[in-house]
Structure 1
Amino acid sequence: MSNDVNSATSSFVDSLRWPDKKVPTEKNDELKQEDFFALLTQQLSYQDPSKPADNDQMISQMTNFTMAEGISNLNTKFESLAASMTSNSALQASALIGKKALLESDTVEHGPGMQSRGSIIVAEPVEKLTLSIVNDKNELVRKIELGEQSVGATRFEWDGLNQSGDPVPPGEYTIKAEGQTNGKFESLPTATFRNIDSVNVNGSQGIVINTKAGAVRLTDVAEIA
C-alpha cells in the first residue's frame, strides 16, 4: 500500500515540474579555415585518379580563402580602431570647453571684466585701417585707428569703453573693418574670439564646438586661445 502511495506522490510531483527543454544552439554559417580544409579533403577524395586536381587551381583556392579571412579580420580590427579613435576624440574635445575659439564673425561680445579680442584679415597692404564698433541701435560706439598694416591677421582689442571713455552695457556689438588699398577704402573680413560652451563628436563632421554665436566644426576654427 505504501509503495502505491509513494508512486502516486512521485507521479504527482513530477507532473508539477517544468518539462525539460533543450535550448537550440545557434547555427553559425561562417566558414572557418577548418571547414575549408575539410571541403578540400573531400574534394581530393572524390577526384578522378586519371584527372587529378590542378595544383595551380588548388593553390589559387587556398590563396582566395586566406585573403577573404584576412580581410574579415582586418575589418574587425578597423571597427575596433574607429571606436577607440572616437573615444579619444571625445576626451580631447572635452579639454576645449572653457577656452576661446577664433571664428569668422562680424560681431563681438562684451561683458563685465571681458577683454573683447579678434583679428582683421588683411589680404593686401592697407593704409588707415580702422575698426568701427556699433551697438544694436546702429550707433557708433567706438572707432579704433590701426593705421598702416601689412598682409596677415591684424589683432585688435576693445576694453568695452565708448569714444568718450565710458563703459558700455554688456551684449553683442557689430564690428566693421575698413582700410585704404590703392587709394580706395574697402571692407575687410573680421574674426573674433568666442567662448567654447560645449563640444560634440559628430561622426561625419568630426568635432563640433558650440558657442553663443552658433555651432562650428573644429576644422573651421582659426585659433584656440
Structure 2
Amino acid sequence: MEGVSTNSYIDSMKWKKEDDARYADPDERSKLEQEDFFKLLTEQLNMQDPSKPVENDQMIAQMTSFTMAEGITGLSERFDQFASDMTSNQALQASTMVGRKVLVPTDKANLESGAGVTGMIATPQTAQNVKISIKDSTGATVKTIEIGDMAQGTKEFEWDGKMSNGEEAPAGNYSFSVNAQVAGQTEELPIQMHARVQSVSTGGDRGVVLNLKGLGGIKLSDVTEIS
C-alpha cells in the first residue's frame, strides 16, 4: 500500500499465536523482555536522524528506567513467593494445634458433656465485687460465679459446667460477661476464653484460620495462649 512505511524488524515482533506458544496467555502479550528492549534500542539508533542523534543521557535514562522496572517486577514476584511460603509454613505449624486448646478474645465458650470451661479476665486496676455471669443460647442466666476482689492484671477462672441448681448444664455454647466495681463505678471487664481447635484453614484474606469447636474460625494471629 502506498504511503505506508514498514520495518521488517518491527513486523517480526508482532505476536503470532501460531508461531510462538510462549504467548498463549493474553497477559504475556504485553510483556517486553530485556532482549526485546535492547533490540528496540538498537533499531532506534539505526533509524535516528543523523543530524539529531540521541543524547547519551537520554539513552542511559531509557536503559535505567527499563532496568528499574524489571527489577521491581522481579522483586514483586519474589515477595509473592515468599508470602506464599510463609503462609504454608504457618499452616504446617498451626496443624500441630489441632485437638489442643487456645486462649482467644471472645466472650463465648463451647461446653462439652461432662466437662468444664476455663477463661481469663483482666482489669486495668484493682477491682471489687467481681462477678461472672454465664448465659445459655436463649439468654437465660444459668450460673453466677463470685470472684470477689481482684488486683490489677489478669486472673484465670473455671466453670465446672454445673448450673446454679447443681445440675449439669447441657452441652453447647454459652456466653460470659464480667462486671466489677472499678474506682467506684460498675464496669464490664474484658474476657478471653479457651476453645478447642478442630481444624486449620488457609487461603483468602484472613491467612491461616483456626476452626474452633462450636465457635467458628479465628485468625491464628488472634491467639494469645496455647494450652
The two structures have a TM-score, normalised by structure 2, of 0.71
Offset from partner CA, 1:161-190 (integer Å, 9 cap, x none): 4567x5614424443423223344444333
| TM-score of the aligned structures, taking structure 1 as reference length | 0.71
Unaligned stretches of 5+ residues in structure 2: 1-16, 24-28
The within-5 A match list for 1:23-62 is 24-26=18-20, 28=23, 29=29, 30-62=31-63
DSSP-derived class of the 1:205 partner: coil
Indicate conservation of the 8 Å contact 1:200/1:208, yes or no.
yes
Structure index of larger Rg: 1
Q: Which residue of 2 aligns with 1:72?
A: 73
Aligned to 1:63: 64
Equivalent residue, structure 2, for 1:221: 223
| Post-superposition offset of 1:155 | 0.9
Per the alignment, residue 148 of structure 2 pairs with 147
8 Å Cα contact 1:89/1:201 also seen in 2: no
Map 1:176-215 to 2 at 5 A.
176-211=177-212, 212-215=214-217
Preserved CA contact (<8 Å) 2:45 2:54 = yes
Structure 1 residue identity aligned to 2:18? P
User: What is the CA-CA distance between 1:115 and the residue it aligns to?
Assistant: 4.0
Amino acid of the structure 1 residue aligned with 2:223: V
- Shift of the 187–59 alpha-carbon distance from structure 1 to 2, 3 Å rule, reads closer
Question: How far apart are residue 156 of structure 1 and its match?
Answer: 0.5
Instruction: Quote the sequence identity (%).
Output: 40
Structure 1 portions without partners, runs of 5+:
1-22
Distance 2:129 2:141 in 1: 21
Question: Distance in 2 between the 1:75 and 1:69 partners?
Answer: 10
Give distance in 2, aligned partners of 1:134 and 1:31: 64
Q: Which of 26-35 and 186-195 deviates more?
A: 26-35
Aligned length: 201
1: distance between equivalents of 2:76 and 2:20?
Answer: 23
Distance 1:183 1:49 in 2: 90
Deviation readout 1:121-147 (Å, 9 max, x if unpaired): 323311122334455683544x43322
- Structure 2 matches for 1:78-89, cutoff 5 A? 78-89=79-90
In 1, distance between residues paired with 2:59 and 2:108?
A: 71
